[in-house]
């Protein structure tokens, strides 16, 4: 059964309230925590899968399409290895082989230099629109 709720504010049981714009525009539209060694998802929301393009290069595939490709992506990565650096390039181009972001997919890279990427144990991504 489908339905519609129309409201100006949301309120919890303790009487705390917020404007609907905060709930709509301030919430992550997707997020994922995955293992960069193989793309295995640990936990996620609105992420259907991770495609490993090459070592340290990933495509994040969304379950439900966003309204357009003008979204913001925030990401972090780290490893349990003592010699691994953490960093993420988001929706990047040369020299990485990731594609231009679409409403259903975007690329990320976990680089250790300007030309070399590595698979980091913990990679986390959040999408806002």
Residue ranges per structural domain of the chain? 28-128
**Between 110 and 86, whose confidence is greater?**
110
Residue 28 has pLDDT above 90, yes or no: yes
Whole-number pLDDT of residue 83? 55
Q: Give the global pTM.
A: 0.80
**pLDDT tier at 127, thresholds 50, 70, 90:** very high
How far apart are the C-alpha atoms of 43 and 88, rounded to whole Å? 19
Supply φ then ψ for residue 31, to 5 degrees. Answer: -155, 155
The answer to whether the CB of 36 falls within 8 A of the CB of 123 is: yes
Please list the residues that pair with 47 across neighbouring strands.
62
CA dihedral over 64, 26, 125, 32, signed as positive or negative: negative
How far is residue 80 CA from its own chain's centroid?
21
Q: What is the pLDDT of residues 54-64, one digit of tens each?
A: 888 899 999 99
* Pair of tokens at residue 51: 């495609």
């Amino acid at each position: 059964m489908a339905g519609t709720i129309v409201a100006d504010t949301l309120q919890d049981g303790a009487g705390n309230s917020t404007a609907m714009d905060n709930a709509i525009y301030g919430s992550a539209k997707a997020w994922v925590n995955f293992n960069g060694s193989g793309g295995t998802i640990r936990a996620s929301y609105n992420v259907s899968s991770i495609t490993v393009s090459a070592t340290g290069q990933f495509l994040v595939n969304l379950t439900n399409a966003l309204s357009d490709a003008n979204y913001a992506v925030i990401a972090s990565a780290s490893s349990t290895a003592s010699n691994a650096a953490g960093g993420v390039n988001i929706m990047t181009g040369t020299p990485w082989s990731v594609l231009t972001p679409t409403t259903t997919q975007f690329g990320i890279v976990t680089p250790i230099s300007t030309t070399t990427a590595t698979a980091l144990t913990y990679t986390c991504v959040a999408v806002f629109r």
